[in-house]
Amino acid sequence: MSDTGDFTPPQRLPAWTALVGHAQQLANHPLSALFADDPNRADRFTLILENPTEMDQSALVADFSKQLFDDETFASLIRLAHEARLDEGIQRLFDGEQVNFTEKRAASHMSMRGGCPPPPGKGADTHDMRTFAFDLREGMLVGSTGKTIRHLVNLGIGGSDLGPRLAVEALADPRGNIVGGIELAKVAFVANVDPRELDTVLAHADPAATLFVVSSKSFSTPETLANAEAARQWLRSRLGEGIDISAHFAAVSNAYDAAIAFGIRPDRVFPLPDWVGGRYSVWSAIGLPLLVAIGGMFDDFLVGARIMDDHFRLTPIEHNLPVWLGLTDLWNASFLGIQSTAALPYAHGLRSFPNWLQQLEMESNGKHTLRNGHRTEAATAPIVWGSAGTIGQHAFHQLLYQGTRKVALDFIIPVGEDSDPRQRILVDNAIAQAAALMGGRDLDAARATLARRNLPDAEIERLAPHLVSDGNQPSTTIMIPRLDAFHLGALLALYEHKVFVQGWIWGINPFDQYGVEHGKEIARALASGKTDKQDASTAQLARLAEEFRLRMR
C-alpha cells in the first residue's frame, strides 16, 4: 500500500459500517446477559500465548470475555482487520519497510530483540554498550579520581526514560544490586527539568563514584540537556574545576556529533538508530540502565518480547493476541465512544506501566491525520491513565462503580508465588474488581445487602439507591505467571504491537510525533523573552512569572 494510492479510509470499509450498527445494538446491553446466553463465552474469548521455552507452560493469558461484544461483532472486527489488509501491514512492519511514512523510516525496534532483521542495509550493534554496561555493573569503571563508579544516573525523558524506568522498577532486586555479596552499581532516573528531581537523586550521591548517562535520541531535548548541564556543574563544583569529568558521562543517542560537542568521549556514545522510535527503544542501547540493574536477565527480557514478535508475525489474525487487543480497544474507542482507558496493573513493580502506556498509546495514536492527508472522522486513541492496583481501588474506583462515565479497563495480573499471603490478596482483588465492575449491583441486590446488616426497612429504602452501581464497565484481563524479565518483555511487546494494529486500521502513523513539537517552539520563544507573537493570556502569564522571579531574587 503506498502512502495514498490504494489507501481506503477505514470508515469506507464495509465492516466499519456493520460495526456502527452493532454498536447501536450493544452499547447498553448488559455484559452479564452475554455470559448468561453463552456458557462458553469465557473460554471462547480467551487467548493463550504458550511459552516455547518452558514445555506446557502458558506465558500469557488474555481474557477478553468481559468486553462488550458478541460473536457477530467480533466476526465483524476480524473482517475489518482483513478489509484494512492488516496482514499486509504486519508483513511490511517486519520486512523493515517505511511504515513510518511521514518520516520515511522503518520501525524495526523488533530487530533489537531478534524479532526481525534490521532494515535493509542497516544495523545496530549493541556490543560496545553491553561491554560498558557489564563493566559498570561489576565495578570495573573508575571516575576521574580513580574511585569505582557505583551509581548510574540516567538523564532522559519520554521514551528515553519511561521504558527503562518501568523495567528497572519491575525487575531490579528491591534489596539492592548485590551479587555474590558484592554491591554492584545502583541505578536512578531523572526526567523532570524541575531541579528537585535531580537534587533528590544527588542528595546522597558521591560525585567521585557517579556516572551520568545522557539518554536522548535527538540529543536536542531541552529538559535532558539542561539536566546534563546541571550534572556537569555539580561534578565540577564537587570534584574541582580543573578536573576532567568525561569519565563521569556516557550517552545514548542518534546524534553522535551533538553528543561529542557536549563533551562525551567518542567511545562512550552508544548509537540509537533512527528506525528505533523513542517510545519503542527500551530494547536498544536506551536499555543501558536496565542492563546495569539486571545483568544477564536483560536477555530474558528480549526473548520474551521476541516470542510475542513471532506470535504477532506468524499467527492468523483470528487468533492473534495483539490483533485481538487492538481490535477490542478500537471497538471501544471508535464504535462504543469510550474515550478513557485505565491500565490497572496489580503489581507494585508495574506502577509506572500506566505512564509508559500513556506515551506508547497517546503519542503513537493520538492523531487525526490519515495517511492520505485528510482528517479522520473516527475517534482514535483514548485517554490512557491508571495506577497500580490496589492503590487505585482506594482512590478512583468509586468513579468506575458509580460515576457517569464508561471507562475501558485493562487488568494486568502477575500471579506470583503464594509464599506471602499478601500476594494472594492482590490477585484476588484484581479478579474481584473486574467481576464487580462488570456485574454491578441493582436495587434489589442493594436492598439485600442492607438487609443483611439488620437495618430497619425505612433505612434500607433510604440507602439502597446509593449502593446501586451500573456495572457494565468493559475489561480485558491479562495474566502472567510472575513478573520476571521474560514475561515483562512479552507484555510490553504485546502492547507495542497492539498500537501498530490500531494505527494501521485507523490509517494513521503511530511512529511520528509532530504534535508535541508545537509547544516546544513556544517554550523556546518564551525562553528568549519573546512574547509579542503570543496571545494576551500567554504573554500575561510569562510577564507574571517574570515578576515572581524578580521578587524572589
| Cell numbers at 284, concatenated | 536498544
Q: Kindly write down the DSSP assignment for every residue of 40-51, as one continuous string.
A: THHHHTEEEEE-
Write down the catalytic residue from 29, 374, 520, 530.
Answer: 520
Contact between 321 and 60 under an 8 Å Cβ cutoff? The reply is yes
List binders of ligand F6P among 216-245 (CB under 6 A).
216-218, 221, 224
Smallest gap from Cβ 271 to ligand F6P, in A, equals 13
Is 365 near ligand F6P (CB under 6 A)? Answer: no
User: Which member of 104, 127, 204, 394 is catalytic?
Assistant: 394
**Listed residue (7, 27, 12) closest to 377, CA to CA:** 12
Contact (Cβ atoms closer than 8 angstroms) between residue 84 and residue 505:
yes
Cα gap 59→400, rounded to integer Å: 30
- Residue whose CB is less far from ligand F6P, 221 or 376: 221
**What residues have CB less than 8 Å from 389, skipping those under 6 apart?**
344, 345, 346, 411, 426, 429, 430, 433
Tell me the DSSP string of 287-345. GHHHHHHHTTHHHHHHHHHHHHHHHHHHS-GGG-HHHHHHHHHHIIIIIS---EEEEEE
Q: Which stretch binds ligand F6P (CB under 6 A): 61-69, 93-101, 157-165, 473-481?
A: 157-165
Counting residues that bind ligand F6P (by CB under 6 A) gives 14
Residues within window 272-291 making contact with ligand F6P, judged by CB under 6 A: 278-279
| 363 among known catalytic residues | yes
User: How far is 65 from 67, CA to CA, in rounded Å?
Assistant: 5
- Which of 218/402 has CB closer to ligand F6P? 218
**Span near ligand F6P by CB under 6 A; candidates 25-33, 48-56, 153-161, 191-199:** 153-161
Binding-site member from 51, 126, 154, 160 for ligand F6P (CB under 6 A): 160
Name the DSSP class of 100: B
169 is catalytic: no
- List 363, 397, 496, 497, catalytic entry: 363
104 catalytic residue (yes or no):
no
> Helices then strands (H, E): number in the chain?
22, 13
- Of the residues 100, 472, 513, 531, which one makes contact with ligand F6P according to CB under 6 A: 513
Task: Return the number of other C-beta atoms located less than 10 Å from residue 548's C-beta.
Answer: 9
Does position 516 interact with ligand F6P (CB under 6 A)? The reply is yes
Based on C-alpha coordinates, what's the Rg of the chain? 25
In the beta sheet, which residues pair with residue 183? 178
Smallest distance, Å, CB 395 to ligand F6P? Answer: 27
In the complex with ligand F6P, the residue whose CB is nearer, 26 or 214, is 214
Query: What's the min distance (Å) between Cβ of 202 and ligand F6P?
Result: 21
Nearer to ligand F6P, 358 or 472 (CB): 358
Contact partners, residue 5, CB within 8 Å, separation at least 6 = none
Q: Find the part of the chain contacting ligand F6P (CB under 6 A) among 164-172, 212-220, 442-450, 537-545.
A: 212-220
Name which of 355 and 433 has its Cβ closer to ligand F6P.
355
- Residue 158 contacts ligand F6P per CB under 6 A: yes
CB-CB contact of 343 with 412 (8 Å): yes
Q: Where are the beta strands (DSSP E) in 430-497?
A: 475-480
CB nearer ligand F6P, residue 9 or residue 287:
287
Residues engaged in binding ligand F6P (CB under 6 A): 157-160, 216-218, 221, 224, 278-279, 363, 513, 516
User: Which amino acids are annotated catalytic?
Assistant: 363, 394, 520
